[in-house]
Structure 1
């Protein structure tokens, strides 16, 4: 069955359909990851986006329960050069095609993803749609241009009710802006007693639980669309240790007087080089974001940069000069990898333990 990817600049790509039969519209973005297609598709930071894989083959090892980053993915579509006709792995529980069909996500294969990626890099992220017919190309393009994509993405992916991820050591509140399961896995490995809260939670509700620390999770969309979350963070600063990841990083920076901007095509993949400023050490990281912190806006704040991206020198991490709070743009919990910076969770634990010892004194 034929399927078409149409971009708002008028570009049309013809390919073969797989996954769901429904049509879809979203922001077209690309990921440079060589593996981890299941983790990417189920990452809620891809909500409302059509995801292009630059790796030429996906689906070859199937889908399994262990690699979910969420159980209800909000990715709008999948684009690839080739989807495996046969998948095989001792961990496989389902095929990618069937998985996408069950989750109402359409896919298209057999297109020139190198050409498509170059278009996005040159023109920037743009709207696109996956359709099964293109009899009236001009009408389809006009409809696409007129489509307004919602900016209320976190509301689609955040939990509606608090829930626990029990442990016996440190008490941690995770504010869920679209949290990846791998964050909870890292906290579980450190035996943390975690409570996951909706993004609408207020500072006083968090303080009422008397947690040792707060973690601001990753999530989709523009951080400036979450003014209540920014206020919540401002009301927590100095009262509890805070760690921010991805969207949580951007929100913490906004809460402390910095600014953010939309990138031309963002960072998405598992191979982004980041340098720690203090040591000069370089690590490869997992990233998925279309917004970044403006480095010039940090100058008049109490935030100091700790990490930068090697390729474009964007801010990848900050630390508060007065309070026990830091955040990173990348994903230290990286799934499927690399795991170069997973030790940041251990740094976070040491920060918490030190704060607890000071309070005992």
Structure 2
């Protein structure tokens, strides 16, 4: 059995079974999802994190590429009670260290009690506890990854749905999930995916009907270019955002954000709509939240568990954002209507050329 060590912030070291070799470090977080491990592992929002699965068996329905949200695995390492051979082999092929035979109940409890923490991982035939501790020592806080967007964003414009004739979306890629782009294209939108550090000139070239800021990893305060884009266009274009995108929009419009103790990660987060008093179940993956939406946004949805903002609408501008993932990959499907609402907002803003 290959040896594996997990060094936790505070000096405690766990020993487990190594399933994919290597060393790694990152912010230790957990997800409560029973299914959707392929989607979670390829979600760019997990960049620079070590993902712990609270569900005990990961891999019981194999690995299928059509479920991937991006072209690679993003967590720096993976912890589980038990990983199937399919998943372990996949992670090894991706160069992502993996450890199982851990008491993940204890790991999750530690995170819930103490918050997301730094950790170091060492997996291999000859690794020692000191190897894991060295990784921990070199680990940076999430807020210190000041250019994390560069690790997950496109390098240049990419266009999807070119033959569609619906609204045109300029999507700022801070680590977008593929199913968000698919959800827009399925509704006849033309989607221009722009780099996370896109300029106003890039947006002008796209000539969009709506500016859309995607999900992604890290501290929203570090996405200065995206914040400036929202500031530039909020009174000229409708603006939408998902997850990190909601936080970026809030900061651009005078709001504030803060780091959460251990975040929301899973597919069973209950969200209440203020107007309808209806509760829907949502998929979420974020470690930061909006603390104060600012003077131009109102909270229209909130998390039933902790009252954090889950939906923001503009009071004097066309803005619509969600903290959760309405594309529902993996499920549930309660919130897919968000994309219809965004594209309806975009359609209202379209300029119709006058007849000659």
When normalised by structure 1's length, the TM-score is 0.92
Kept in 2, the 8 Å contact 1:174–1:217? The answer is yes
Cα distance, 1:118 vs structure 2: 0.5
Which residue of 2 is the match for residue 59 of structure 1?
Answer: 59
Kept in 1, the 8 Å contact 2:156–2:194? The answer is yes
Which residue of 1 is the match for residue 75 of structure 2?
Answer: 75
Which one of 260, 273, 277 corresponds to residue 263 of structure 1?
Answer: 260
Look up the SS of the partner of 2:22 in the other structure.
coil
Cα distance, 1:351 vs structure 2: 1.2
Cα separation, 2, equivalents of 1:74 and 1:226: 19
Which residue of 2 is the match for residue 204 of structure 1?
Answer: 201
Kept in 1, the 8 Å contact 2:118–2:140? The answer is no
Which residue of 1 is the match for residue 140 of structure 2?
Answer: 148
Kept in 1, the 8 Å contact 2:28–2:118? The answer is yes
Which residue of 2 is the match for residue 168 of structure 1?
Answer: 164
Kept in 2, the 8 Å contact 1:203–1:233? The answer is no
Consecutive unaligned residues of structure 1, counting only runs of 5 or more, are 86-94
Cα distance, 1:231 vs structure 2: 1.0
Where do 1:98-113 residues align within 5 Å?
98-113=89-104
When normalised by structure 2's length, the TM-score is 0.93
Where do 1:171-190 residues align within 5 Å?
171-190=168-187
Which residue of 2 is the match for residue 347 of structure 1?
Answer: 341
Structure 1 residues 60 and 321: CA distance shift in structure 2, 3 A: same
Kept in 2, the 8 Å contact 1:8–1:141? The answer is no
Cα distance, 1:145 vs structure 2: 3.4
Cα distance, 1:326 vs structure 2: 1.2
How many residue pairs get matched?
A: 347
Is 1:282 aligned to residue 279 of structure 2? Answer: yes
Provide Cα deviations, 1:124-160, integer angstroms capped at 9, x if missing partner.
Answer: 11111111366455x8536623533551211100010
Look up the SS of the partner of 1:29 in the other structure.
strand
Cα distance, 1:11 vs structure 2: 2.0
Which residue of 2 is the match for residue 88 of structure 1?
Answer: none
Look up the SS of the partner of 2:227 in the other structure.
helix
Which residue of 2 is the match for residue 226 of structure 1?
Answer: 223
Look up the SS of the partner of 1:23 in the other structure.
strand
Cα separation, 2, equivalents of 1:59 and 1:136: 28
Where do 1:323-334 residues align within 5 Å?
323-334=317-328
Where do 1:232-251 residues align within 5 Å?
232-251=229-248
Cα distance, 1:171 vs structure 2: 1.3
Cα distance, 1:206 vs structure 2: 0.5
Provide Cα deviations, 1:1-49, integer angstroms capped at 9, x if missing partner.
Answer: 1211110222222111113x11111110000001000100100000011
Cα separation, 1, equivalents of 2:354 and 2:14: 63
Structure 1 residues 33 and 143: CA distance shift in structure 2, 3 A: closer
